[in-house]
Amino acid sequence: MNILVVAATQAEIQPSIAFLEEQDIPFLISGVGMLATVYTLTKSLQTIKPDLIVQVGIGGILDSDDELGAVYQIVEDEIFAFGAEDHERFLPIAELGFGEGHFRQQLPPPPFAIPVTPQRRGITVNKVHGNTNSIEQLRHTYDEPIVESMEGVAAFFVAAQENIPVLQFRATSNYIEPRNRGAWQIGPAIKNLNVFLQELLNYLS
């Protein structure tokens, strides 16, 4: 199986780069944000024809009961707040009739299996939540432990347009709370993410 690994920053997969090169597995550093990811991934697919895209990275999680550093399989992702305000009501882009804002992972055809991994729903944002008021609004909107990133849905979107199977995995580096850099666990999240990534790729080989 030909796999393309995608990460927003080199730091997120730095511990696996030597492994990827030794295994001759292509990887893409897409850049931060939805626009960068859509552009660089689409451009890459002009020359690379993978059987599976695996996007990995770190992210924040809304549920403070979850342990930081855990790796989750993001099975569904959305462009957060993509639509229009109608007075006190929010109209999603799909309701407006101008497109879709929700996308799901796409599995390769059977037989296909991956290690059992806890699953979460994702939101992809242009502005990471770090304000009490906006976080309370987020909790009011979602009653589940969502994972926040700035790129996730972009890989799902491109893969859907190109009809390529895609998976996304995120290690949680912080809680979605008022910005508190001292509480971030970026190092452990990156370590756990890359241990998982190498195990996953060995499993798929």
Tens-digit pLDDT profile for residues 82-130: 999 999 899 999 999 999 999 999 999 988 999 999 999 999 999 999 9
Centre a 10 Å sphere on the Cβ of residue 76 and count the other Cβ atoms it contains.
18
Where do the domains of the chain lie, and which CATH numbers do they carry?
3-204 (3.40.50.1580)
Q: How confident is the model at residue 155 (pLDDT cuts 50, 70, 90)?
A: very high
Give the separation between CA 140 and CA 138, rounded to whole angstroms. Answer: 5
Give the separation between CA 8 and CA 171, rounded to whole angstroms. Answer: 13
Token pair in block for residue 3: 């796999």
Residue 143 pLDDT > 90, yes or no? no
Q: Which helix (H) or strand (E) holds 36?
A: helix 34-44
Give 24-47 pLDDT, tens digit per residue: 999 999 999 999 999 999 999 999
Give the separation between CA 133 and CA 184, rounded to whole angstroms. Answer: 20
Predicted pLDDT at 57: 98
Q: What is the residue type of 44?
A: S
CA atoms within 13 A on the CB side of 87: 0
Residue 65 pLDDT > 90, yes or no? no
Question: Can you tell me the mean pLDDT for 10-14?
Answer: 98
Predicted pLDDT at 111: 87
Question: Can you tell me the mean pLDDT for 57-69?
Answer: 92
Closest C-alpha among 157, 130, 147 to residue 37: 157
Strands (E) located in 33-165: 52-61, 71-79, 83-86, 89-92, 102-104, 119-124, 147-149
Residue 192 pLDDT > 90, yes or no? yes
pLDDT-above-90 percentage for the chain: 92
Give 180-191 pLDDT, tens digit per residue: 999 999 999 999
The residues near 6 (Cβ < 8 Å, ≥ 6 apart) are 27, 28, 30, 37, 41, 53, 54, 55, 56, 155
Token pair in block for residue 9: 């920053």
Residue 167 main-chain phi, psi, to 5 deg: -130, 150
Give the separation between CA 81 and CA 12, rounded to whole angstroms. Answer: 26
Question: Can you tell me the mean pLDDT for 141-168?
Answer: 96
Centre a 10 Å sphere on the Cβ of residue 135 and count the other Cβ atoms it contains.
16
